[in-house]
Structure 1
Amino acid sequence: MSLLKTPLLGLRADHFRHPLDLQATENLKQLPGFDMVIRNLLGPLAEQVFYLDNIASSVLVSEKQLPDLHRLLLEACRTLDLEPPQLYIRQHPAPNAYTFAMRGKRPFIVVHTSLVDLLTPEEIQAVIAHELGHLKCDHGVYLTLANILIQLASLGGLAQGLQAQLMEWVRCAEFTCDRAALLATQNPKVVASVLMKLSGGSPKLSAQLNLEAFLEQARAYDDISNDQLGAMLKQAMTEQLTHPVPVLRAREIDRWSCSQEYQALLQSRPVQSYEHSDTRGGWRNW
């Protein structure tokens, strides 16, 4: 894995935040009072619960424990100009990774062992950087808020329109964090390869997967929207899902890697993006 990556000193969340995430976050901030309630009341309890669970049931990565993974974390943090959170490795058969940060006291990332088994070191770093993107953008409060309100919706306590708004925000936030993964690895093929392996990879099949063929799937997915029926089907199948479909995420990162915005960031000349993308996607770990 190459160590010659451009450190993005002074990088701010809005330098790489996806335009749809930016707009959806602003809409979510209009919900009066919820932000402070989640941050000040639920936050301390959740932090303590998660901390105890991680310490008891996972392995804390450090310079003395799984040092190769620790180096991947530190390098990604240096590139993204972010203080390192705790990183835990947890035994689990489902490839996944997640993060939590409420008040900034004990931010952490958890990566499942099955995901480590599936990916190369550089791909693991992409996953770590994706989770760092949630921390960099302060998504934790709003993810928690979205999860709570979505649960209320399932009990009939939340308007359908508001539930759709929350799900849209969650999908948009994933696009932003994929950009963080690209900024950390500075290789779009690495990020797209992670998404491909999460779609249909296994330790036995990974070496046989074809990234270009996977990206062709994204074009086929786009073609479905060429008629009204296809567009309606995509909308109906994805409006309740929390993640964009993997092929769509791979296409997005491939496009952004060629953009003026991304190139300017690598040269420490951030510019504002106003591009638009389709967020109709599907649920996926990580």
Structure 2
Amino acid sequence: MKTQLIGLKADDFRHPLDLEATTNLKQLPGLDIAMRGILGSVAEDFFYLNNIASSILISEKQLPHLHQLLLNASSILDIEPPQLYLKQNPVPNAYTLAIRGRKPFMVIHTSLLEILTDEEVEAVIAHELGHLKCEHGVYLTLANLIVLAAGLLPTWGSILAQSMQSQLLQWLRCAEFSCDRAALLVAQDPKIVMSVLMKLTGGSPSLASKLNLDAFMEQVKDYQEMSNTDIGEMLREMQTAQLTHPLPILRAKAIENWSSSAEYYDLLEKPKVSYNSQSQTKGGWRNW
């Protein structure tokens, strides 16, 4: 039995780095206005139409077991479930789009399902719901547009785009920590979330079930020891500067740490409702 976190707010689980990076982005003039205005409307409609034309919409009639995982995770996080799509793609991945809050949707690649258990898929869905709960949609889309613009603008414009891109990438890496926490709140078992990160690092359909989570977590110690020197710190910054996500071993360690924190236990101990993951329960609506 899991617990439904009634009245859960984003700031209840938002990672401090996410809060700091989001605050910094909001200080850049015009970003929210541009993305929530005409530009946001066009981008949202474009991505929505492109997605619905080239992916499978999950529902009670189409792959209902995946639809139920979406309902389960949404109910626990106390959030209205978005549309969920399945897309044929050999790169294991999942992503969410919600610019103006009108047509939020989530996409999961077929290759990701091939390496994860149902519990792990539910954790991935919960991670993506975390983006919606924390209202990350505007900046997620903007990051993709800036990356594209950097390759299309003249030199001066490219420099400007790259500067903004650097800030957005920093924000993206911080935002992922919050969403991993959302995944843990749904899984309510840190090993499930840590296993997802391990499989995304080096999993395949034939190897995923054979991977050793304890051995994977031992890599964290080796990485931290290598990073303790001046040269190691410099190499680490060079390695991560252009990444959209923090390194998986560090994300797994962050989840391991948070799962034993008073903050995490306090959230699970707040007034709640016992939740059976097999029931047809839907979450309550929340405005983004």
The alignment's TM-score, normalised by the length of structure 1, stands at: 0.89
Of the three residues 178, 192, 197, the one matched with 2:199 is 197
Contact 1:129–1:181 (CA<8 Å) still a contact in 2? yes
Q: CA deviation at 1:58?
A: 1.1
Contact 2:147–2:161 (CA<8 Å) still a contact in 1? no
Contact 2:3–2:268 (CA<8 Å) still a contact in 1? yes
Task: Quote the sequence identity (%).
Answer: 63
- Equivalent residues in 2 for 1:92-241, closer than 5 Å: 92-153=89-150, 155=153, 156-158=158-160, 162-241=164-243
Number of equivalent positions: 266
AA aligned opposite 2:91: A
Q: Which residue of 2 is the match for residue 80 of structure 1?
A: 77
Q: CA deviation at 1:265?
A: 0.7
Q: Which residue of 2 is the match for residue 276 of structure 1?
A: none
**CA deviation string 1:205-247 (max 9, x = no partner):** 1121000000111121111222111111101121121111111
**Residues in 2 aligned to 1:52 and 1:174: alpha-carbon distance in whole angstroms:** 26
Q: CA deviation at 1:144?
A: 2.1
Q: Which residue of 2 is the match for residue 259 of structure 1?
A: 261
Q: Which residue of 1 is the match for residue 65 of structure 2?
A: 68
Q: Which residue of 1 is the match for residue 285 of structure 2?
A: none
- Unaligned 5+ runs, structure 1: 270-286
**Residues in 1 aligned to 2:164 and 2:113: alpha-carbon distance in whole angstroms:** 36
Of the three residues 18, 22, 36, the one matched with 2:19 is 22
**Residues in 1 aligned to 2:84 and 2:176: alpha-carbon distance in whole angstroms:** 20
Contact 2:146–2:161 (CA<8 Å) still a contact in 1? no
AA aligned opposite 1:117: E
- Unaligned 5+ runs, structure 2: 272-288
**Residues in 1 aligned to 2:162 and 2:40: alpha-carbon distance in whole angstroms:** 26
Query: Alpha carbons of 1:174 and 1:222: their partners in 2 closer, same or farther (altered >3 Å)?
Result: same
**CA deviation string 1:142-161 (max 9, x = no partner):** 12223333444555231765
Q: CA RMSD in A?
A: 1.5
Moved more, 193-202 or 37-46: 37-46
Q: CA deviation at 1:56?
A: 1.7
SS at match of 2:2: coil
Of the three residues 23, 37, 45, the one matched with 1:48 is 45
Q: CA deviation at 1:100?
A: 0.2
Contact 1:98–1:111 (CA<8 Å) still a contact in 2? yes
AA aligned opposite 1:44: S
Q: CA deviation at 1:125?
A: 0.5
**CA deviation string 1:249-270 (max 9, x = no partner):** 111111110111111111128x
Contact 2:44–2:103 (CA<8 Å) still a contact in 1? yes
The alignment's TM-score, normalised by the length of structure 2, stands at: 0.88
Contact 1:218–1:247 (CA<8 Å) still a contact in 2? yes
Q: Which residue of 2 is the match for residue 9 of structure 1?
A: 6
Q: CA deviation at 1:54?
A: 2.3
SS at match of 1:157: helix
Moved more, 161-170 or 224-233: 161-170
Contact 2:48–2:103 (CA<8 Å) still a contact in 1? yes
Contact 2:123–2:192 (CA<8 Å) still a contact in 1? yes
Query: Alpha carbons of 1:50 and 1:164: their partners in 2 closer, same or farther (altered >3 Å)?
Result: closer
Moved more, 49-58 or 120-129: 49-58
AA aligned opposite 1:8: L
